[in-house]
Amino acid sequence: MEYTLGLGLFLEKLGICHRYIIWRIAFNAILTGKDSKLISKDLVFDGVPVRVYWPKTPAAGNRRGIIYLHGGAGLTGSFRASEKICRFMANQSDSVVVSVGFRLAPEHPYPVPVLDSLTATIHFLKNAEEYGVDPNCIAIVGDSSGGTFAAAICQELVTREDLPRLRAQVLIYPFLQSGDFDLPSYQQNQSVPLLYRKRAIKLGLTHLTGKEINVDLVIKGAHIPTDMREKYKKWVSADNIPEEFKARGYVPNAPAPFSEELYEQVKRAGEAMFCPLVVEDDIIRQLPETFLLTCEYDILRDDGLLYKKRLLDNGVPVTHHHLPDGFHATLSFFGLWPLEFPSSRKCMEHVVQFLKSLYK
């Protein structure tokens, strides 16, 4: 995978094609074979492509439903790249799984990918019984940026009284805040593949703006106005990270002076739909039961830990699994023998165990 990322950058510099095209081709080249235990269909939910998976075994009643949002920084990912994950969830939890084919940046920058995901989710909630699903037992699952979208969608829907409530949100190493890229996990794991700190922020800002932005001052926090930093420090702060997660070293650094020009370029990064960690408490306390998975060797580890604290502080039940040997994107290797890591399977098994506990 690291080779694929590097090849995309190389070909882009030569002017042959955009790096994201190469990445998408590579991820779609994953061989998936067939699954005789499932029926799958490509459908369209209010204009958004989806792939739906049904177990072939007869069900006594309506099944649980799972909405799956893939990772890829909103720039890559697809049905095909997510096939093994969705099949495993459908088979092992006896659920109907909807994999959402949201549009991708930079062609369709924020908020298009998350709004596509929201549209598909609302359609499924409204029409769940048509797909053999109990509308009151639908969980939304996302990894990496898909976890960001899942968290944002849950927040958007808590005030919708015309829809069934989502039963749970499953957030697998999600990106959740853009206010501090110097938290312990960002320092400790800044050079850990596959998500280097500088690469991650570049990808995130490309998803946000559709453009290339110099990230050096963003890493130092120059994009955050003083009043905003003051408002959110109770939620986004290394002080809220348990001490055991600082054992590999952490040095607090003062942020760089505020840059108005930089802020204007990236100011939408402060929106809760892009950074769900900064939504107000009255929304947080209405969120459904939550599963959170974090990995030790992941710059986004502390985003998950900070969100866990916010949820628990507001009375939301949380199931948290931390993988001491895990790294960002470990789930992407699930089922790809011989590339699968022990943490890849642990991650998937923890998710399925939680989903099975939800019904009824």
298 is catalytic: yes
- CA–CA dist 224, 209 (Å, integer): 17
Q: Is 144 a catalytic residue?
A: yes
Q: Two tokens at 69?
A: 């949002």
Contact 153/121 with Cβ under 8 angstroms?
Answer: yes
Token digits of residue 228:
């905003």
Q: Give the length of the chain.
A: 360
Active-site entry in 328, 332, 344, 350: 328
Task: Clarify whether 40 is annotated catalytic.
Answer: no
Q: Which one of 116, 143, 182, 298 is the catalytic residue? A: 298
Q: How far apart are the first and last CA of the chain?
A: 39
- For 226, phi then psi, to 5°, come to -60, -45
Q: Residue 141's beta-bridge partner residues?
A: 68, 170
Among residues 40, 144, 178, 185, the one annotated as catalytic is 144
DSSP letter at 211? S
267, 228 in Cβ contact below 8 A?
Answer: no
At 126, list the tokens.
């409204």
* Catalytic machinery residues: 144, 298, 328
